């Protein structure tokens, strides 16, 4: 039970505890009070959803059985090996029921140096463990689970969901970008709740979350992951329009295409003709985002001003009925004109999630596609994307700093679809989902502003072969920083 006096209103009022550019995380120490506030907010949020209440019942939360009462080891022995701020954190939090959050089950507080054999703990006091498992991964996500690990030496946390993911975070000094202040991880989770990407509660028509689940989500306990949410549409539109404005600002007024700055990229009638499903992320985005007044939005990738050409190039929406009714096929948004690539195993694995009858060897257009998804699958990102290239890359890096070829069956040919992607390790939860289109536009904006890409009279200069630069040096210019 927390050793703090608080009210329901104080538990829910955490604006000043959330991490932001203006309110950064504490460097070099565990801010246990801040972390406890964010933790207790999530506990209260889940309790309110579970009990269909508007405010948390603090007496009910305080009466929950404290997890250390079930600990197999002696409580004092465990806590003696934790640093003082981490013990203070434990004294300040409510113990969550199982299903603390979408990816994590509950508090564990397991000492786990045995999983980090490549890291030195000589700077720790003799009786202290260096690595502590704070939150354990949801049991439904598989076996060999780990969870949120806290490094008591560097005062940073990381989230290897499974033991197999641990090679993405250790040795720590070789994977520093994968470790964050604990309050940063908790803030990301709360942000996903606030935008409606993750929601709490049982869907209408289901029985305690066990039966009758709608096909537009994956669910663990009371927590659901949605393929996209309304605020993702809005933020992606804003990101593309910011990027378009940066490109247009570098063009002469005479070279801008003569069209209203308020013209949407597509109408519903045009997308009907292209076979784009209704009520999905990509249709909503394309009918609301403003049309750029230039031809090339990225090297070699055309803005679809020619609507008939856009319709002709739609390989996957024109293949007929998707695999299942909850499947959304990939839509070719920005094509590389006259550049095709034959479907290999990597491309087949990406797009066959929605279409089983995709044939190896068939040529398809290259360019920027929306993410094909089966909505009921775990961790799907309908607001994602993939750039399909007419050539393979080998040395480019993904957000988890792995090579784009990691896990690719045809390694010798390189990767045709992994540029700008997350990779397999997700710093704030999940695995193997697509990178978000919003983040791509933000990254492209930086590339234009920094001069990596130049702008001419038709928009961004260079053909699609310019993306080969991602294989130069470490390729980090062509990668997106870790995010959720």
Domain end call among 161, 189, 224: 224
Q: Return phi, psi of residue 236, to 5°.
A: -70, -40
The residue with greater pLDDT, 34 or 99, is 34
Mean pLDDT of 149-169: 94
pLDDT bucket at 409, cuts 50 / 70 / 90? confident
In the chain, how many domains are there?
Answer: 2
Residues 315 and 405 in one domain: yes
Bridge partners, 327 (sequence order): 374
Q: How far is CA 466 from CA 73, 238, 323, 447, in A?
A: 58, 26, 35, 13
CA distance 433 to 475: 21
Domain extent for 118: 8-224
354-395 pLDDT, tens digit each: 877 788 999 999 999 999 998 878 889 999 999 999 999 999
Q: Are residues 232 and 344 in the same domain?
A: yes
Q: Does residue 109 contact residue 70 with C-beta atoms inside 8 Å?
A: no
| Residue 175 contacts residue 7 (beta carbons within 8 Å) | no
Same domain, 370 and 391: yes
pLDDT at 162 exceeding the cut of 50: yes
| Residue 243 forms part of a structural domain | yes
Q: Are 289 and 335 in contact (CB under 8 A)?
A: no
Q: Are residues 411 and 439 in the same domain?
A: yes
CA-wise closest residue to 425 among 195, 117, 103, 184: 103
Residue 218 confidence (pLDDT): 84
> Which stretches of 197-250 are DSSP H helices?
230-249
219 with 236, same domain? no
Q: State the pLDDT at residue 340.
A: 97
Quote the CA–CA distance of 75 and 2 in Å, as a whole number: 17
Mind listing the pLDDT tens digit for each residue in 432-484? Answer: 899 999 999 999 999 999 999 999 999 999 999 999 999 987 668 999 999 99
**DSSP-assigned letters across all residues of 247-262:** HHHTS-GGGS-SS-TT
Whether residues 198 and 232 share a domain: the answer is no
Is residue 270 scored above 60 in pLDDT?
yes
Q: What is the pLDDT of residue 210?
A: 45
* Helix boundaries (H) for 2-31: 8-12
Same structural domain, 220 and 233: no
Lowest mean pLDDT among 101-110, 167-176, 181-190, 313-322: 313-322
Q: Same domain, yes or no, for 255 and 217?
A: no
Q: Is the same domain home to 245 and 391?
A: yes
pLDDT in tens, 254-268: 999 998 878 999 999
Is position 89 within any domain? yes
> What span, in angstroms and rounded, lies between the C-alpha atoms of 378 and 223?
12
Residue 440 falls inside a structural domain: yes
Asked whether residue 274 is domain-assigned, the answer is yes
Whether residues 44 and 115 share a domain: the answer is: yes
- Domain assignment of residue 483, yes or no: no
Question: pLDDT at position 208, please?
Answer: 41
Residues 203 and 302 grouped into a single domain = no
Q: How many helices (H) and strands (E) does the chain have?
A: 12, 16
Does residue 212 lie within any of the structural domains?
A: yes
Question: Does the pLDDT value for residue 74 go beyond 90?
Answer: no
Domain boundary among 224, 239, 273: 224
Q: Which of 189, 224, 259 is the last residue of a domain?
A: 224
Shared domain check, 233 and 189: no
Confidence label for 132 from pLDDT (cuts 50, 70 and 90):
very high
Model pLDDT for residues 20-72, shown as the tens digit of each residue: 999 999 999 999 999 999 999 999 999 999 999 999 998 888 887 666 655 55
In a domain, 3, yes or no: no
Please report where in the chains the tokens 């695995």 appear, as a residue.
431
- Half-sphere exposure of 80 toward its Cβ, with a 13 Å CA cutoff? 7
Is the residue at 1 inside a domain?
A: no
Beta 363-370 vs 385-388: how paired, if at all? antiparallel
What is the rounded CA–CA span in Å between residue 326 and residue 322?
Answer: 8
């Amino acid at each position: 039970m927390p050793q703090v006096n608080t009210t329901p209103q104080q538990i829910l009022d955490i604006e000043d505890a959330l991490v932001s550019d203006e309110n950064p995380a504490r460097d070099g120490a565990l801010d246990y009070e801040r972390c406890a506030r964010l933790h207790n907010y999530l506990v209260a949020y889940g309790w309110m959803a579970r009990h269909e209440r508007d405010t948390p019942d603090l007496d009910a939360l305080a009466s929950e059985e404290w997890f250390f009462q079930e600990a197999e080891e002696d409580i004092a022995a465990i806590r003696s090996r934790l640093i003082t701020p981490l013990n203070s954190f434990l004294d300040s939090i409510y113990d969550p029921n199982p299903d603390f959050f979408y990816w994590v089950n509950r508090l564990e507080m397991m000492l786990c140096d045995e999983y980090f054999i490549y890291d030195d703990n000589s700077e720790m006091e003799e009786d202290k463990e260096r690595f502590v498992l704070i939150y354990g991964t949801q049991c439904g996500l598989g076996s060999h689970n780990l969870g949120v690990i806290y490094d008591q030496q560097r005062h940073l946390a990381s989230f290897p969901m499974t033991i197999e993911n641990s090679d993405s975070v250790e040795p720590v000094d070789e994977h520093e970008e994968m470790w964050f202040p604990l309050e940063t991880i908790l803030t990301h989770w709360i942000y996903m709740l606030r935008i409606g990407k993750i929601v709490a509660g049982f869907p209408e028509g289901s029985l305690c979350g066990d039966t009758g689940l709608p096909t537009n989500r994956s669910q663990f306990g009371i927590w659901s992951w949605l393929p996209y949410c309304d605020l993702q549409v809005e933020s992606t539109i804003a990101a593309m329009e910011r990027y378009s404005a940066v490109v247009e600002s570098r063009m002469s007024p005479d070279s801008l295409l003569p069209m209203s700055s308020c013209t949407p990229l597509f109408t519903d009638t045009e997308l009907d003709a292209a076979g784009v499903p209704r009520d999905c992320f990509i249709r909503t985005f394309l009918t609301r985002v403003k049309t750029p007044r230039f031809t090339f939005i990225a090297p070699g990738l055309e803005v679809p001003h020619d609507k008939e050409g856009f319709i002709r190039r739609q390989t996957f929406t024109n293949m007929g009925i998707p695999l299942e009714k909850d499947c959304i096929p990939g839509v070719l948004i920005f094509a590389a004109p006259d550049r095709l690539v034959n479907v290999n195993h990597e491309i087949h694995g990406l797009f066959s999630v929605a279409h089983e009858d995709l044939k190896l060897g068939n040529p398809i257009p290259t360019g920027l596609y929306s993410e094909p998804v089966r909505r009921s699958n775990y961790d799907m990102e309908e607001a994602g994307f993939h750039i399909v290239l007419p050539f393979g890359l080998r040395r480019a890096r993904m957000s988890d700093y792995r090579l784009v070829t990691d896990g690719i069956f045809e390694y010798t040919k390189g990767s045709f679809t992994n540029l700008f992607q997350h990779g397999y390790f997700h710093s704030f939860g999940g695995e193997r989902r697509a990178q978000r289109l919003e983040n791509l536009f933000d990254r492209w904006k930086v590339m234009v502003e920094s001069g990596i890409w130049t702008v001419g009279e038709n928009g961004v200069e260079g053909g699609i072969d310019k993306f080969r630069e991602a294989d130069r040096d470490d390729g980090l210019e062509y990668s997106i920083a870790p995010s959720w």
